[in-house]
Amino acid sequence: MFENIALVGATGAVGTIVRQLLAERNFPYKSIRFIASARSAGTTISFNGTDHTVVELGPTAFDGIDLIIASTPDEVAAELVPWARQAGAVVVDESGYHRMHDDVPLIVPEVNPEAIADHNGVIASPNCSTTQMVVAMQPLHAAARIKRVIVSTYQATSGAGAAGQRELEQGTQAAISGTPFEPQTFSHPIAFNLIPQIGSEKHMGYTSEEMKMVWETQKIFQDESIAVCPTAVRVPVANCHSESILVETEKKLTAAEARELFEAQDGITVIDNLDQYQYPMPLTNSNHDDVFVGRIREDISSPNGIAFWCVSDNLRKGAATNAVQIAELLVQSANA
């Protein structure tokens, strides 16, 4: 049973959304503990009508806890998991640290919920850009098997945390007023600009953010033959990642068939009407949990290609919502 739960990183941007989701979705629990760094320890969080004192992360922070949702940097995740295992708790880890470990399932509940049975005390949630892409890929892959994906991402500044959002706002104000501004979070000014690098160089000129999309997609679908060619770009948008995706399938799908498959898939909302200027956009799809798909069309350059546009809130489905859904899967499996 998972009755006593803890949230690590409870005061951060993603942790705050996790708290909201736990309340909104009536997540079952007997007790709940909010854990953060020494900087936030001792502060008070009001949750479901009760005040809770934030506990400092440390070796004894998980005593009596059954289930942990952790939203932390990689180095913190590496440190906390041994403490959690010592306490007998299962960790849903939102960091990148455990994603490619062979003994850690990488879960998107709409895509591979069955993989949760193979956990060894840790379950990883994928990178935000991977998460929305594989949700959109799932119905097409199930119907016609995807062989190849070409994806370009348009990633919001919220993906770099609160500092990224502040830099967009401050840099934009500076650019409009003609005031000098030195970027700190990004390698170049983000206001009125696009930066075609997210992460460090990793493999053959691809960045770490791009290679995450390759390796994580293959792991989630348990198919290393799926070819993924990604380009990750930071854009001057506050929230919601967008992706231009082209998939090549073994079996031909028409645009109408692809649209029907998208519409039938849990977690996907289709917005697709060019005549009415209707399609997913960050401005209208922020603060939602679904993956939004539009601009669905056949690839005019190859016989078995489907192109589409995909938008998702990277702080919600890309992070907080996916983690809460994984936790819900754990509870359901324990109660089955």
pLDDT of residue 335: 81
> Which CATH code of 3.40.50.10490, 1.25.40.10, 3.40.1550.20, 3.30.360.10 fits the domain covering 130-314?
3.30.360.10
pLDDT of residue 322: 98
pLDDT at 225 over 90: yes
pLDDT of residue 265: 97
Q: What is the pLDDT of residues 138-153, one digit of tens each?
A: 999 999 999 999 999 9
Q: Which of 252, 259, 241 is nearest to 139 (CA)?
A: 259
pLDDT of residue 63: 96
Confidence of residue 334 (pLDDT cuts 50, 70, 90): confident
Q: Which of 284, 302, 215, 296 is nearest to 260 (CA)?
A: 296
pLDDT of residue 333: 87
Structure tokens at 70: 């952790």
> Which CATH code of 3.10.350.10, 3.40.1190.20, 3.40.50.720, 3.90.79.10 fits the domain covering 4-126+319-335?
3.40.50.720
Q: Parallel, antiparallel, or unpaired for β 90-93 and 122-124?
A: parallel
Contacts 24+ apart (CB under 8 A), 220-223: 220/106, 220/107, 220/108, 220/111, 220/112, 220/126, 220/130, 220/134, 221/111, 221/112, 221/134, 221/137, 221/141, 222/112, 222/115
Helix (H/G/I), strand (E/B), else coil: 53: strand
Q: What is the pLDDT of residues 173-212, one digit of tens each?
A: 999 999 999 999 999 999 999 999 999 999 999 999 999 9
Q: What pTM, to 2 d.p., does this model score?
A: 0.96
d(C-alpha 78, C-alpha 261), whole Å = 39
pLDDT at 169 over 90: yes
Q: What is the pLDDT of residues 279-320, one digit of tens each?
A: 999 999 999 999 999 999 999 999 999 999 999 999 999 999
Mean pLDDT taken over the chain:
96
Q: What is the pLDDT of residues 74-120, one digit of tens each?
A: 999 999 999 999 999 999 999 999 999 999 999 999 999 999 999 99
Q: Is the CB of residue 61 less than 8 Å from the CB of residue 82? A: no
d(C-alpha 296, C-alpha 254), whole Å = 10
How do the domains of the chain map onto residue ranges? 4-126+319-335, 130-314
Residue linked to tokens 């069309």: 297
Alpha-carbon distance values, 122 to 34, 185, 228, 281 (Å): 19, 30, 26, 34
Mean pLDDT, residues 41-56 taken together: 95
Confidence of residue 34 (pLDDT cuts 50, 70, 90): very high
Crossing angle of helices 13-24 and 321-335, in 10° steps, is: 40
Residues with catalytic roles: 128, 241
pLDDT at 236 over 80: yes
Helix (H/G/I), strand (E/B), else coil: 191: coil
Percentage of the residues of the chain whose pLDDT score is greater than 70: 100
d(C-alpha 326, C-alpha 336), whole Å = 15
- Helix residue spans in 4-124 (DSSP H): 13-24, 74-87
